Chain A
Protein backbone atom coordinates (compact mmCIF):
# COMPACT_ATOMS: atom_id res chain seq x y z
CA UNK A 1 0.00 0.00 0.00
CA UNK A 2 1.34 3.42 -0.89
CA UNK A 3 -0.02 6.93 -0.62
CA UNK A 4 -0.09 8.74 -3.95
CA UNK A 5 0.27 12.15 -2.29
CA UNK A 6 4.04 11.62 -1.91
CA UNK A 7 4.83 11.10 -5.61
CA UNK A 8 2.54 13.97 -6.58
CA UNK A 9 4.25 16.32 -4.13
CA UNK A 10 7.69 15.19 -5.34
CA UNK A 11 6.75 15.82 -8.98
CA UNK A 12 5.39 19.29 -8.15
CA UNK A 13 8.52 20.17 -6.15
CA UNK A 14 10.89 18.96 -8.88
CA UNK A 15 9.08 20.91 -11.59
CA UNK A 16 9.04 24.03 -9.40
CA UNK A 17 12.78 23.71 -8.69
CA UNK A 18 13.47 23.19 -12.40
CA UNK A 19 11.50 26.28 -13.39
CA UNK A 20 13.39 28.26 -10.73
CA UNK A 21 16.69 26.99 -12.15
CA UNK A 22 15.72 27.87 -15.72
CA UNK A 23 14.68 31.38 -14.69
CA UNK A 24 17.65 32.18 -12.43
CA UNK A 25 20.65 30.82 -14.34
CA UNK A 26 22.65 33.04 -16.69
CA UNK A 27 25.15 30.34 -17.65
CA UNK A 28 23.74 28.61 -20.72
CA UNK A 29 25.08 25.17 -19.75
CA UNK A 30 23.52 25.33 -16.28
CA UNK A 31 20.16 26.11 -17.87
CA UNK A 32 20.10 22.45 -18.87
CA UNK A 33 20.25 21.41 -15.21
CA UNK A 34 16.84 23.05 -14.69
CA UNK A 35 15.47 21.33 -17.79
CA UNK A 36 16.63 17.93 -16.50
CA UNK A 37 14.85 18.56 -13.18
CA UNK A 38 11.58 19.43 -14.94
CA UNK A 39 11.84 16.26 -17.03
CA UNK A 40 12.52 14.10 -13.98
CA UNK A 41 9.36 15.52 -12.39
CA UNK A 42 7.45 14.37 -15.46
CA UNK A 43 9.06 10.92 -15.13
CA UNK A 44 7.89 10.60 -11.52
CA UNK A 45 4.36 11.52 -12.55
CA UNK A 46 4.30 9.00 -15.41
CA UNK A 47 5.57 6.16 -13.23
CA UNK A 48 3.05 7.06 -10.52
CA UNK A 49 0.19 6.42 -12.95
CA UNK A 50 1.55 2.91 -13.43
CA UNK A 51 1.92 2.32 -9.69
CA UNK A 52 -1.70 3.41 -9.17
CA UNK A 53 -3.07 1.03 -11.78
CA UNK A 54 -1.23 -0.90 -14.46
CA UNK A 55 -2.52 -0.91 -18.02
CA UNK A 56 -2.07 -3.78 -20.45
CA UNK A 57 0.40 -1.89 -22.65
CA UNK A 58 2.83 -1.11 -19.80
CA UNK A 59 2.69 2.53 -20.88
CA UNK A 60 3.77 3.74 -17.45
CA UNK A 61 7.18 2.13 -18.02
CA UNK A 62 7.58 2.50 -21.77
CA UNK A 63 6.76 6.21 -22.13
CA UNK A 64 9.31 7.23 -19.44
CA UNK A 65 11.95 5.33 -21.43
CA UNK A 66 10.97 7.34 -24.51
CA UNK A 67 11.13 10.57 -22.50
CA UNK A 68 14.64 9.75 -21.23
CA UNK A 69 15.90 8.97 -24.73
CA UNK A 70 14.42 12.09 -26.29
CA UNK A 71 15.82 14.21 -23.44
CA UNK A 72 19.29 12.78 -24.04
CA UNK A 73 19.07 13.64 -27.76
CA UNK A 74 17.85 17.14 -26.88
CA UNK A 75 20.77 17.66 -24.49
CA UNK A 76 23.32 16.62 -27.11
CA UNK A 77 21.98 19.09 -29.68
CA UNK A 78 21.64 21.88 -27.11
CA UNK A 79 25.23 21.46 -25.91
CA UNK A 80 26.52 21.42 -29.50
CA UNK A 81 24.73 24.72 -30.17
CA UNK A 82 26.00 26.25 -26.90
CA UNK A 83 29.60 25.23 -27.63
CA UNK A 84 29.40 26.62 -31.16
CA UNK A 85 28.03 29.91 -29.83
CA UNK A 86 30.81 29.98 -27.24
CA UNK A 87 33.45 29.45 -29.93
CA UNK A 88 32.06 32.38 -31.92
CA UNK A 89 31.56 34.97 -29.20
CA UNK A 90 33.59 33.64 -26.22
CA UNK A 91 30.65 34.11 -23.87
CA UNK A 92 27.84 31.92 -22.57
CA UNK A 93 25.93 34.65 -20.77
CA UNK A 94 22.24 34.36 -21.65
CA UNK A 95 21.62 38.02 -20.71
CA UNK A 96 24.11 39.27 -23.29
CA UNK A 97 22.50 41.23 -26.18
CA UNK A 98 22.91 39.09 -29.26
CA UNK A 99 24.15 41.80 -31.65
CA UNK A 100 27.14 42.66 -29.49
CA UNK A 101 29.50 39.87 -30.43
CA UNK A 102 33.05 41.03 -31.10
Chain B
Protein backbone atom coordinates (compact mmCIF):
# COMPACT_ATOMS: atom_id res chain seq x y z
CA UNK B 1 0.00 0.00 0.00
CA UNK B 2 1.54 3.24 -1.11
CA UNK B 3 0.29 6.72 -0.20
CA UNK B 4 -1.54 6.95 -3.52
CA UNK B 5 -3.36 3.69 -2.82
CA UNK B 6 -4.46 4.89 0.60
CA UNK B 7 -5.69 8.23 -0.74
CA UNK B 8 -7.54 6.48 -3.55
CA UNK B 9 -9.20 4.06 -1.14
CA UNK B 10 -10.45 6.94 1.02
CA UNK B 11 -11.95 8.89 -1.89
CA UNK B 12 -13.39 5.74 -3.45
CA UNK B 13 -15.08 4.91 -0.15
CA UNK B 14 -16.70 8.37 -0.10
CA UNK B 15 -17.85 7.90 -3.71
CA UNK B 16 -19.36 4.45 -3.13
CA UNK B 17 -21.05 5.42 0.14
CA UNK B 18 -22.52 8.56 -1.43
CA UNK B 19 -23.69 6.61 -4.46
CA UNK B 20 -25.29 3.93 -2.32
CA UNK B 21 -27.21 6.49 -0.28
CA UNK B 22 -28.16 8.43 -3.43
CA UNK B 23 -29.90 5.42 -4.95
CA UNK B 24 -31.47 4.03 -1.76
CA UNK B 25 -32.74 7.06 0.19
CA UNK B 26 -36.48 7.67 0.28
CA UNK B 27 -36.16 11.47 0.44
CA UNK B 28 -36.02 12.75 -3.12
CA UNK B 29 -34.06 15.90 -2.29
CA UNK B 30 -31.59 13.90 -0.21
CA UNK B 31 -30.95 11.69 -3.25
CA UNK B 32 -29.74 14.70 -5.25
CA UNK B 33 -27.64 15.91 -2.31
CA UNK B 34 -26.01 12.50 -1.79
CA UNK B 35 -25.20 12.54 -5.51
CA UNK B 36 -23.10 15.64 -4.76
CA UNK B 37 -21.13 13.64 -2.15
CA UNK B 38 -20.65 10.75 -4.59
CA UNK B 39 -19.47 13.05 -7.37
CA UNK B 40 -17.06 14.84 -5.03
CA UNK B 41 -15.64 11.43 -4.12
CA UNK B 42 -15.25 10.58 -7.80
CA UNK B 43 -13.54 13.93 -8.39
CA UNK B 44 -11.13 13.15 -5.54
CA UNK B 45 -10.37 9.76 -7.11
CA UNK B 46 -9.64 11.40 -10.44
CA UNK B 47 -7.35 13.84 -8.64
CA UNK B 48 -5.43 10.93 -7.11
CA UNK B 49 -5.20 9.32 -10.56
CA UNK B 50 -3.51 12.49 -11.83
CA UNK B 51 -6.25 14.06 -13.97
CA UNK B 52 -6.75 17.34 -12.16
CA UNK B 53 -8.38 19.10 -15.12
CA UNK B 54 -11.04 16.39 -15.46
CA UNK B 55 -11.65 16.48 -11.69
CA UNK B 56 -12.17 20.27 -11.72
CA UNK B 57 -14.47 20.11 -14.75
CA UNK B 58 -16.44 17.33 -13.06
CA UNK B 59 -16.97 19.48 -9.96
CA UNK B 60 -17.84 22.56 -12.03
CA UNK B 61 -20.24 20.93 -14.49
CA UNK B 62 -21.78 18.09 -12.48
CA UNK B 63 -21.90 19.48 -8.95
CA UNK B 64 -22.29 23.08 -10.06
CA UNK B 65 -24.77 22.71 -12.90
CA UNK B 66 -26.32 19.28 -13.30
CA UNK B 67 -27.22 18.72 -9.65
CA UNK B 68 -28.69 22.23 -9.40
CA UNK B 69 -30.74 21.45 -12.51
CA UNK B 70 -31.95 18.18 -10.94
CA UNK B 71 -32.92 20.07 -7.77
CA UNK B 72 -34.82 22.62 -9.88
CA UNK B 73 -36.66 19.79 -11.64
CA UNK B 74 -37.53 18.17 -8.31
CA UNK B 75 -38.98 21.46 -7.08
CA UNK B 76 -40.94 22.03 -10.30
CA UNK B 77 -42.43 18.53 -10.14
CA UNK B 78 -43.69 19.19 -6.59
CA UNK B 79 -41.42 16.78 -4.76
CA UNK B 80 -42.67 16.01 -1.24
CA UNK B 81 -40.64 17.28 1.71
CA UNK B 82 -40.68 14.04 3.70
CA UNK B 83 -40.15 10.47 2.46
CA UNK B 84 -41.65 9.87 -0.98
CA UNK B 85 -43.96 6.94 -0.24
CA UNK B 86 -46.04 7.48 -3.37
CA UNK B 87 -43.22 6.38 -5.65
CA UNK B 88 -41.77 3.69 -3.37
CA UNK B 89 -40.83 0.47 -5.17
CA UNK B 90 -42.11 -2.85 -3.88
CA UNK B 91 -39.84 -5.39 -2.15
CA UNK B 92 -39.69 -7.71 -5.15
CA UNK B 93 -38.73 -4.89 -7.43
CA UNK B 94 -36.05 -3.71 -5.01
CA UNK B 95 -34.64 -7.23 -4.75
CA UNK B 96 -34.64 -7.63 -8.52
CA UNK B 97 -32.93 -4.29 -9.03
CA UNK B 98 -30.32 -5.16 -6.37
CA UNK B 99 -29.68 -8.47 -8.12
CA UNK B 100 -29.30 -6.71 -11.46
CA UNK B 101 -26.92 -4.11 -10.04
CA UNK B 102 -24.84 -6.74 -8.23
CA UNK B 103 -24.68 -8.85 -11.39
CA UNK B 104 -23.46 -5.89 -13.46
CA UNK B 105 -20.87 -4.94 -10.83
CA UNK B 106 -19.62 -8.53 -10.49
CA UNK B 107 -19.42 -8.99 -14.26
CA UNK B 108 -17.47 -5.75 -14.74
CA UNK B 109 -15.23 -6.51 -11.78
CA UNK B 110 -14.45 -10.03 -12.95
CA UNK B 111 -13.59 -8.72 -16.43
CA UNK B 112 -11.48 -5.79 -15.23
CA UNK B 113 -9.64 -7.21 -12.22
CA UNK B 114 -7.47 -9.69 -14.19
CA UNK B 115 -6.24 -6.71 -16.24
CA UNK B 116 -4.77 -5.10 -13.12
CA UNK B 117 -1.33 -6.60 -12.75
CA UNK B 118 1.49 -5.25 -10.63
CA UNK B 119 1.46 -1.66 -9.37
CA UNK B 120 2.34 0.78 -12.12
CA UNK B 121 4.10 4.14 -12.05
CA UNK B 122 1.43 6.81 -12.39
CA UNK B 123 1.82 8.64 -15.70
CA UNK B 124 1.70 12.40 -15.30
CA UNK B 125 -0.05 14.37 -18.03
CA UNK B 126 0.19 18.10 -17.41
CA UNK B 127 -2.72 20.44 -18.00
CA UNK B 128 -0.78 22.40 -20.61
CA UNK B 129 -0.21 19.16 -22.53
CA UNK B 130 -3.95 18.40 -22.36
CA UNK B 131 -4.74 21.92 -23.55
CA UNK B 132 -2.29 21.63 -26.43
CA UNK B 133 -3.83 18.37 -27.56
CA UNK B 134 -7.38 19.65 -27.06
CA UNK B 135 -6.82 22.60 -29.36
CA UNK B 136 -4.57 20.66 -31.73
CA UNK B 137 -5.49 17.05 -32.35
CA UNK B 138 -9.02 17.21 -30.94
CA UNK B 139 -10.04 20.66 -32.16
CA UNK B 140 -12.76 19.54 -34.60
CA UNK B 141 -14.55 17.24 -32.14
CA UNK B 142 -14.24 20.07 -29.61
CA UNK B 143 -15.93 22.53 -31.98
CA UNK B 144 -18.62 19.94 -32.74
CA UNK B 145 -19.21 19.75 -29.00
CA UNK B 146 -20.07 23.46 -28.84
CA UNK B 147 -22.54 22.89 -31.68
CA UNK B 148 -24.04 19.98 -29.72
CA UNK B 149 -24.50 22.21 -26.66
CA UNK B 150 -26.25 24.83 -28.79
CA UNK B 151 -28.55 22.19 -30.28
CA UNK B 152 -29.35 20.82 -26.82
CA UNK B 153 -30.15 24.31 -25.52
CA UNK B 154 -32.47 25.10 -28.44
CA UNK B 155 -34.09 21.66 -28.27
CA UNK B 156 -34.77 22.00 -24.54
CA UNK B 157 -36.36 25.41 -25.10
CA UNK B 158 -38.45 24.08 -27.99
CA UNK B 159 -39.62 21.06 -25.99
CA UNK B 160 -40.55 23.01 -22.85
CA UNK B 161 -42.32 25.87 -24.66
CA UNK B 162 -46.07 25.65 -24.11
CA UNK B 163 -48.33 26.51 -27.05
CA UNK B 164 -51.25 28.80 -26.22
CA UNK B 165 -54.00 26.22 -26.74
CA UNK B 166 -52.16 23.47 -24.87
CA UNK B 167 -51.70 25.62 -21.78
CA UNK B 168 -55.47 25.93 -21.33
CA UNK B 169 -55.95 22.18 -21.11
CA UNK B 170 -55.83 22.25 -17.33
CA UNK B 171 -58.32 24.70 -15.90
CA UNK B 172 -57.26 23.70 -12.38
CA UNK B 173 -53.72 24.78 -13.13
CA UNK B 174 -53.58 28.25 -11.63
CA UNK B 175 -50.35 29.55 -13.11
CA UNK B 176 -48.66 27.66 -15.94
CA UNK B 177 -46.69 30.71 -17.06
CA UNK B 178 -44.31 31.02 -14.05
CA UNK B 179 -43.49 27.35 -14.38
CA UNK B 180 -42.58 27.74 -18.04
CA UNK B 181 -40.43 30.79 -17.39
CA UNK B 182 -38.69 29.05 -14.48
CA UNK B 183 -37.89 26.12 -16.78
CA UNK B 184 -36.31 28.28 -19.40
CA UNK B 185 -34.36 30.21 -16.78
CA UNK B 186 -32.98 27.01 -15.30
CA UNK B 187 -31.73 25.70 -18.60
CA UNK B 188 -28.55 27.74 -19.27
Contact = CB atoms under 8 A, between A and B. Distances in A.
Interface of A: 1-21, 23-27, 29-30, 32-34, 36-37, 40, 43-45, 47-48, 50-54, 57-58, 60-62, 64-66, 68-77, 79-84, 86-88, 90, 92-93
Given A20-B100, A33-B22, A80-B156, 10 more contacts: A10-B12, A18-B19, A24-B93, A36-B35, A61-B130, A64-B54, A65-B54, A68-B54, A79-B72, A80-B187
B16 A14 contact: yes
A26 B143 CA distance: 37
B145 A66 contact: yes
B109 A8 contact: yes
8 contacts: A1-B121, A12-B105, A24-B94, A33-B32, A40-B15, A52-B120, A54-B124, A76-B153
A26 B93 CA distance: 11
Nearest to A9: B109
A27 B87 contact: yes
- Chain A interface secondary structure, helix, strand, loop or mixed? helix
- Chain B interface secondary structure, helix, strand, loop or mixed? helix
Interface residues of B, number: 99
Chain B CB within 10 A, most for which of A32, A45, A87? A87
Interface in B104-154: 104-106, 108-109, 112-113, 115-117, 119-125, 129-130, 132-134, 137-138, 141-142, 145, 148-149, 151-153
Given A13-B16, A40-B38, A80-B159, A65 B57 contact: yes
Interface string B174-188: 001001000100010
Contacts of B35: 33, 36-37
B164 interface: no
A97 B97 CA distance: 20
Given A11-B108, A15-B108, A93-B87, A50 B176 contact: no
Contact of B53 (A6, A13, A44, A65): A65
Contacts of A12: 105-106, 108-109, 112
B22 to A, nearest CB: 5
